[in-house]
Amino acid sequence: MTTAVSAGEIDEGDSLCRFKYGNELASIGPMPPIQPAGGTACRIVHNPILAKDFLPQAKLRELDTVTCSSWALSMFKNHNAAKKKLDSMVSRHPKLRESLGDHFAHAILHAALGEMTQTNKNRHFELFEYVDVDVQAAFKLV
Amino acid sequence: MDSLGYELKELPVQLERVRVLEYFEGDRLVQLKSPQGEIYLKSWLDEHEQWTRWLLFRCTSAALGRFIAGVWTLRDLLEKHDDGVAYIVDSNGREEHVSLIMAKDFPDSYMPTAESYYDADLAPEGGEQVERILLDGFWSVEFLSTLDRKYRQVYAALAAFLSDTVTQARLATHLSKYRFKGGWIHVKVFDLLVGALPKEVKPKVIAFHYASPGVLEYRVEPSLASRVSGAVHNLLEDDGTIKEAYRELHKQLGEFSDWAATGTHDEAELEREQRRMLRQPSEDLAEALKLEQPSVIWQLTNGNYYNAGHILASYYRRIETLVDLHSQGDARISSVLQAKPLIDEPHIPLSVEAD
**Chain A environment of B113 (Cβ under 8 Å):** 91-92, 94
Examine the domain organization and report whether B150 and B279 are in the same domain: yes
Residue B354 has pLDDT above 50, yes or no: no
Model pLDDT for residues B126-167, shown as the tens digit of each residue: 555 778 888 888 878 888 899 999 999 999 888 888 765 556
**Total-model pTM:** 0.63
H/E segment holding residue B277: helix B267-288
Query: How many angstroms separate the CA atoms of B113 and B75, rounded?
Result: 6
What pLDDT was estimated at residue B65? Answer: 74
Model pLDDT for residues B325-335, shown as the tens digit of each residue: 988 888 888 77
Residue B341 has pLDDT above 70, yes or no: no
Residue B173 has pLDDT above 90, yes or no: no
Residue A3 CB burial class (10 angstroms; 0-12, 13-18, ≥19): exposed
Of B93, B122, B125, the CB nearest to A62: B93
Nearest CA in chain A to B124: A69
Among A16-25, B34-43, B132-141, B164-173, which is the least confidently predicted range? B164-173
CA dihedral B211, B128, B89, A97 (to 10 degrees): -110
Residue A2 has pLDDT above 50, yes or no: no
Tell me whether residue B296 is in a domain.
yes
CB contact under 8 Å between B52 and A89, yes or no, is no
Query: How many angstroms separate the CA atoms of B295 and B38, rounded?
Result: 46
CB contact under 8 Å between A95 and B50, yes or no, is no
Residues 120-139 of B with CB under 8 A from A: 121-122, 124-125
Domain count, chain B: 2
Examine the domain organization and report whether B74 and B199 are in the same domain: no
Residue B222 CB burial class (10 angstroms; 0-12, 13-18, ≥19): middle
CB contact under 8 Å between B121 and A92, yes or no, is no
Q: What are phi and psi of A17, to 5 degrees?
A: -70, -10
What pLDDT was estimated at residue B338? Answer: 64
Q: Chain B: nearest CA to A125, how far in angstroms?
A: 11
Model pLDDT for residues A38-65, shown as the tens digit of each residue: 999 999 999 999 999 999 999 988 887 8
- Cβ neighbours of residue B40 closer than 8 Å, sequence gap 6 or more: B13, B15, B31, B32, B33, B34, B56, B57, B58, B59
- Per DSSP bridges, beta strands B6-8 and A103-109 are unpaired
**Chain A environment of B27 (Cβ under 8 Å):** 63-65
Stronger pLDDT, A130 or B66, i.e. the higher one: A130
Q: Chain B: nearest CA to A80, how far in angstroms?
A: 16
Nearest CA in chain A to B25: A57
Examine the domain organization and report whether B193 and B49 are in the same domain: no
The domain boundary, picked from B94, B122, B150, lies at B122
What pLDDT was estimated at residue B163? Answer: 61
The domain boundary, picked from B122, B157, B186, lies at B122
Q: Chain A: nearest CA to B200, how far in angstroms?
A: 24
**Chain A environment of B111 (Cβ under 8 Å):** 94
Among A61-65, B300-304, B339-343, B344-348, which is the least confidently predicted range? B344-348
**Chain A environment of B30 (Cβ under 8 Å):** 64
Residue B237 has pLDDT above 60, yes or no: yes
Among B64-68, B140-144, B289-293, which is the least confidently predicted range? B64-68
CB contact under 8 Å between A94 and B121, yes or no, is no
What pLDDT was estimated at residue B134? Answer: 87
Model pLDDT for residues A98-116, shown as the tens digit of each residue: 999 999 999 999 999 999 9
**Chain A environment of B341 (Cβ under 8 Å):** none
Query: How many angstroms separate the CA atoms of B110 and A101, rounded?
Result: 16
Q: Chain B: nearest CA to A72, how far in angstroms?
A: 8
Tell me whether residue B170 is in a domain.
yes
CB contact under 8 Å between A91 and B50, yes or no, is no
Owning domain of residue B107: 6-122
The angle at the Cα of B158, spanning B153 to B163, to the nearest 5 degrees, equals 135
**Chain A environment of B24 (Cβ under 8 Å):** 74, 85, 89
Tell me whether residue B31 is in a domain.
yes
The pLDDT > 70 percentage for chain A reads 90
Tell whether B259 is within 8 A of chain A (Cβ): no
What pLDDT was estimated at residue B278? Answer: 95
Top residue of B25, B91, B343 to mutate, by most chain A CBs within 10 Å, is: B25
Over chain A, what is the mean pLDDT? 87
Examine the domain organization and report whether B117 and B139 are in the same domain: no
Stronger pLDDT, B93 or A129, i.e. the higher one: A129
The pLDDT > 90 percentage for chain B reads 34
CB contact under 8 Å between A91 and B112, yes or no, is yes
The pLDDT > 70 percentage for chain B reads 87
Q: Chain B: nearest CA to A93, how far in angstroms?
A: 6
CB contact under 8 Å between A63 and B26, yes or no, is yes
H/E segment holding residue B210: none
Stronger pLDDT, B87 or B200, i.e. the higher one: B87
Over chain B, what is the mean pLDDT? 83
Tell me whether residue B350 is in a domain.
no
Residues 6-25 of B with CB under 8 A from A: 17, 20, 22-25
Stronger pLDDT, B182 or A111, i.e. the higher one: A111
What pLDDT was estimated at residue A100? Answer: 94
Model pLDDT for residues B2-12, shown as the tens digit of each residue: 888 889 999 99
Tell whether B180 is within 8 A of chain A (Cβ): no
What pLDDT was estimated at residue A14? Answer: 52
What pLDDT was estimated at residue B170? Answer: 65
Examine the domain organization and report whether B166 and B315 are in the same domain: yes
CB contact under 8 Å between A95 and B93, yes or no, is no
Model pLDDT for residues B193-219, shown as the tens digit of each residue: 888 877 777 898 887 877 777 888 898
- Cβ neighbours of residue B349 closer than 8 Å, sequence gap 6 or more: B283, B294, B295
Examine the domain organization and report whether B110 and B141 are in the same domain: no
Tell whether B4 is within 8 A of chain A (Cβ): no
Top residue of A60, A74, A93, A126 to mutate, by most chain B CBs within 10 Å, is: A93
Query: How many angstroms separate the CA atoms of B96 and B89, rounded?
Result: 7
Of B47, B116, B125, the CB nearest to A92: B116
What pLDDT was estimated at residue B152? Answer: 94
Query: Looking at this predicted complex, what is its ipTM?
Result: 0.85
Of B25, B27, B50, the CB nearest to A62: B50
Tell me whether residue B243 is in a domain.
yes
The angle at the Cα of B241, spanning B240 to B244, to the nearest 5 degrees, equals 80
